[in-house]
Amino acid sequence: MRVGQRLLRIIDCMENDTSKRHYPPAQQGLRGSHPGSFDTAHLLRDGTRWSDGRDTGEFYDLIVVGGGLSGLASAWFYHQKRPKARILILENHDDFGGHARRNEFHIGDRMLLTNGGTINIENYNAYGEGARYLFESIGVDPTRYEEFHDDDVYRGLEAGMFFNKERYGEDLLVKGAGRRPWAEFFADAPLSDQARDDLARLFDSNEDYLAALNVEEKSHRLRQMSYEEFLRDIVGICDEAISVLEQDSYWAIGNDCLSAWAATADGSPGTRGLGLRKPRKDSVYFQFPDGNASIARMLVRDLNPIVAVGNTMEDIVSAQFNYEKLDDPDAQVRIRLSSTVTNVRHEGDPESAETVSVSYIHGGERFRVRASNVVLACYHSIIPHICSDLPEWQSKALALSLKGTLIYANVAVRNWQPFKNLGVNRIDCPGSYFSALRLQNPISMGDYQHARSPAEPNVINLFHTPRGPGNTPQEQWKNGRETMLDASLEDYEREIRQQLARILGPAGFDVEKDILGITVNRWAHGYAYSQNPETGEIAYLLDEVSEDYAPWIAGRQAHGRMVFANSDAAAIAMTEEAIGEAHRAVSELVP
Ligand SMILES: Cc1cc2nc3c(=O)[nH]c(=O)nc-3n(C[C@H](O)[C@H](O)[C@H](O)COP(=O)(O)OP(=O)(O)OC[C@H]3O[C@@H](n4cnc5c(N)ncnc54)[C@H](O)[C@@H]3O)c2cc1C
Span 493-519, pLDDT tens digits:
999 999 999 999 999 999 999 999 999
- pLDDT of the residue at 509: 98
Determine the 3-state secondary structure of 591 from DSSP. coil
| CA 532 / ligand 1 centre spacing (Å) | 17
pLDDT tens per residue across span 294-330: 999 999 999 999 999 999 999 999 999 999 999 999 9
What confidence tier does 250 reach under pLDDT thresholds 50, 70, 90? confident
Q: What is the mean pLDDT of residues 410-421?
A: 98
Atom from ligand 1 closest to the CA of residue 100: 21
- pLDDT of the residue at 13: 41
- pLDDT of the residue at 55: 98
Atom from ligand 1 closest to the CA of residue 37: 47
Determine the 3-state secondary structure of 399 from DSSP. helix
Atom from ligand 1 closest to the CA of residue 69: 25
Residue 122, pLDDT above cutoff 90: yes
Write the Ramachandran bin of 423: left for phi over 0, alpha for psi from -120 to 50, otherwise beta. left
Q: What is the mean pLDDT of residues 69-73?
A: 99
Residue 542, pLDDT above cutoff 90: no
- pLDDT of the residue at 466: 93
Phi, psi of 74 (to 5 degrees): -60, -45
- pLDDT of the residue at 7: 40
pLDDT tens per residue across span 546-583: 777 888 999 999 999 999 999 999 999 999 999 999 99
Determine the 3-state secondary structure of 344 from DSSP. strand
Residues 376, 562: contact at Cβ < 8 Å? yes
Residues 493, 511: contact at Cβ < 8 Å? no
Ordered DSSP codes for 503-560: HHGGGT--HHHHEEEEEEEEETT-S-S-B-TTTSSBSB--TT-BTTB-HHHHHTS-BT
- pLDDT of the residue at 543: 73
pLDDT tens per residue across span 16-51: 444 457 899 999 999 999 999 999 999 999 999 999
Residues 565, 375: contact at Cβ < 8 Å? yes
Q: What are the residues facing 511 on neighbouring strands?
A: none
- Given ligand 1 and candidates 42, 124, 378, which is best to mutate, with the most ligand atoms within 8 Å of its CB? 378
The one-character DSSP state at 234 is I
Q: HSE on the CB side for 346, CA within 13 Å?
A: 16
Q: What is the mean pLDDT of residues 232-243?
A: 97
The pTM score is: 0.95
Atom 53 of ligand 1, nearest CA residue: 526
Short-list 523, 171, 555, 510, CA closest to 397: 555
Rounded to whole angstroms, the Cα distance separating 479 from 483 reads 7
Atom 30 of ligand 1, nearest CA residue: 98
Rounded to whole angstroms, the Cα distance separating 290 from 105 reads 11
| Residue 415 amino acid letter | N
Ordered DSSP codes for 42-104: HHHHTT------EEEEEEEEEEEE--BHHHHHHHHHHHHH-TT--EEEE-SSSSSBTTS-EEE
* Mean pLDDT taken over the chain: 93
Helix (H) or strand (E) holding 31: strand 29-32
* Helix and strand counts by DSSP (H, E) for the chain: 22, 17
- Given ligand 1 and candidates 90, 99, 405, 574, which is best to mutate, with the most ligand atoms within 8 Å of its CB? 99
Q: What is the mean pLDDT of residues 254-274?
A: 89
- Given ligand 1 and candidates 77, 366, 575, which is best to mutate, with the most ligand atoms within 8 Å of its CB? 575
Of residues 441 and 219, more confidence is placed in 441
Q: HSE on the CB side for 272, CA within 13 Å?
A: 10
pLDDT tens per residue across span 385-399: 999 999 999 999 999
| CA 327 / ligand 1 centre spacing (Å) | 21
Residue 346, pLDDT above cutoff 90: yes
| CA 181 / ligand 1 centre spacing (Å) | 39
The one-character DSSP state at 441 is P
What confidence tier does 186 reach under pLDDT thresholds 50, 70, 90? very high
Rounded to whole angstroms, the Cα distance separating 482 from 469 reads 11
Residue 271, pLDDT above cutoff 80: yes
- pLDDT of the residue at 3: 39
Atom from ligand 1 closest to the CA of residue 565: 26
| CA 272 / ligand 1 centre spacing (Å) | 31
Q: Please state which of the ranges 145-149, 206-210, 528-532 shows the lowest mean pLDDT.
A: 528-532
Rounded to whole angstroms, the Cα distance separating 434 from 461 reads 10
Atom from ligand 1 closest to the CA of residue 523: 53
| CA 416 / ligand 1 centre spacing (Å) | 31
Atom 50 of ligand 1, nearest CA residue: 118
- pLDDT of the residue at 247: 67
Residue 8, pLDDT above cutoff 50: no
CA torsion, points 417, 420, 421, 427, in degrees to nearest 10? 110
- pLDDT of the residue at 12: 45
The angle that helices 69-81 and 129-138 make with each other, rounded to 10 degrees, is 80
Write the Ramachandran bin of 508: left for phi over 0, alpha for psi from -120 to 50, otherwise beta. left
Atom from ligand 1 closest to the CA of residue 378: 34
Rounded to whole angstroms, the Cα distance separating 434 from 411 reads 13
Question: In the CATH scheme, what architecture does the domain 3-99+300-400+546-589 have?
Answer: 3-Layer(bba) Sandwich (3.50)
Q: Which long-range contacts (CB under 8 A, 24 or more apart) does 320-325 make?
A: 320/13, 320/16, 320/18, 321/16, 321/23, 321/25, 321/297, 322/12, 322/13, 322/15, 322/16, 322/21, 323/21, 323/22, 323/23, 323/24, 324/21, 324/22, 325/12
Please measure the distance between the N-terminal and C-terminal CA atoms of the chain and give it in whole angstroms.
Answer: 28
Residues 362, 335: contact at Cβ < 8 Å? no
| CA 84 / ligand 1 centre spacing (Å) | 28
Instruction: Tell me the CA distances in angstroms from 464 to 116, 135, 169, 217, one per residue in order.
Output: 13, 31, 22, 35
What confidence tier does 9 reach under pLDDT thresholds 50, 70, 90? very low
- pLDDT of the residue at 18: 44
Q: What are the residues facing 151 on neighbouring strands?
A: none
Residues 425, 157: contact at Cβ < 8 Å? yes
Determine the 3-state secondary structure of 182 from DSSP. helix
| CA 419 / ligand 1 centre spacing (Å) | 32
| CA 99 / ligand 1 centre spacing (Å) | 4
| CA 273 / ligand 1 centre spacing (Å) | 35
Give the β-pairing of 54-65 and 365-376.
parallel
Atom 3 of ligand 1, nearest CA residue: 118
Helical ranges in 357-445 per DSSP H: 383-386, 392-399, 417-422
Ligand 1 binding pocket (C-beta < 6 A) is 41, 65-71, 90-93, 98-100, 117-120, 122, 340-341, 377-379, 382, 386, 406, 408, 523, 526-528, 566-567, 573-575, 577-578
Residue 539, pLDDT above cutoff 80: no
- pLDDT of the residue at 590: 96
Q: Please state which of the ranges 182-196, 394-408, 417-431, 494-508 shows the lowest mean pLDDT.
A: 394-408
